[in-house]
Amino acid sequence: MDWIIYGKNPVREAIDAGKQIEKIFLQREMTGEFETYIRNHCKNNDIPLSKVPDIKLDKLSKNKNHQGCVVFVSKIRYYTMEEVFSSQDDLGCVAVILDGVTDVRNMGAIARSALAFEVNGIIVTSGGSVSLHEDAIKSSSGALLQIPVCRERNVMIAIEKLQQLGYKVLATDARAKQMIHHFQPEGPVALILGSEDRGVSKEAMRIADERIGIVQSAKIDSLNVSVSAGIFFYELYKWVKK
């Protein structure tokens, strides 16, 4: 499978053939039937769409005849949340929601830890999260090819869907009073992991069922998100495997 496709006809053929798309770049000034087709496809399938100048498209296509469109084809399969999570899920089922994690290395490390501690699936958003391209897969040592990854339009939709399925949604927070090593899950759990610079967003924090943290020294404000993720996954895994 080609990683990059460019040109209107090849792009349309790839979409019509059901190729899973990571991201689409369109010429900033493009209008008309093709632009409408791409915009609607991205909206209906939660695919990130960027309107960019020609110089960006030239760089992505290595100065080939891109005709105003460059597409990154996904090397992983994106699942729907309904395929991975269910109202029948019980104690031991863990979902992970990434709220603005943008660093490829953090994404890779989170995926490796998720696989090691039997996390059921990772949920990313179509905007504001790291693209799962070749570097992310390599950084994860292939874990992203083994653990189910879902893509939702935004974090709020992901949280609400999991809550409707009976998941208790925990927002990771360095200032939380409840610590993960004391937490005793009574059913399926979802963890929200925030961005490297601002943590979990206020909107996600507001609708989460609970805030949860890690006991640590006061010598440092917070841990790297991928390090925190490993600790959270381990504590949940340890409790379930008792």
Question: What single string gives the DSSP state of each residue in 118-171?
Answer: T--EEEEESSSS----HHHHHHTTTGGGTS-EEEES-HHHHHHHHHHTTPEEEE
Is residue 59 classed as helix, strand or coil in its secondary structure? helix
pLDDT at 2 over 60: no
Structure token pair of residue 88: 């029948």
pLDDT at 178 over 90: yes
pTM recorded for the entire structure: 0.87
Place 35 in a pLDDT band, splitting at 50, 70 and 90.
very high
Could you tell me which residue, 85 or 198, shows the higher pLDDT?
85
Q: Specify the pLDDT at position 111.
A: 96
Give the mean pLDDT of 99-117. Answer: 94
Q: Specify the pLDDT at position 38.
A: 96
Q: Specify the pLDDT at position 220.
A: 76
Q: Specify the pLDDT at position 127.
A: 73
pLDDT at 1 over 70: no
Kindly report, residue by residue over 9-31, the tens digit of the pLDDT.
999 999 998 888 989 999 999 99
Taking CA atoms, 83 is separated from 54, 102, 119, 240, in Å, by 38, 25, 15, 23
Place 128 in a pLDDT band, splitting at 50, 70 and 90.
low
Strands 69-73 and 49-52: unpaired
- In residues, how long is the chain? 242
pLDDT at 58 over 90: yes
111 closest CA partner among 222, 197, 230, 238 = 230
Q: Specify the pLDDT at position 137.
A: 86
Query: What integer best gives the mean pLDDT of the chain?
Result: 91
Place 240 in a pLDDT band, splitting at 50, 70 and 90.
confident
Q: Specify the pLDDT at position 197.
A: 82
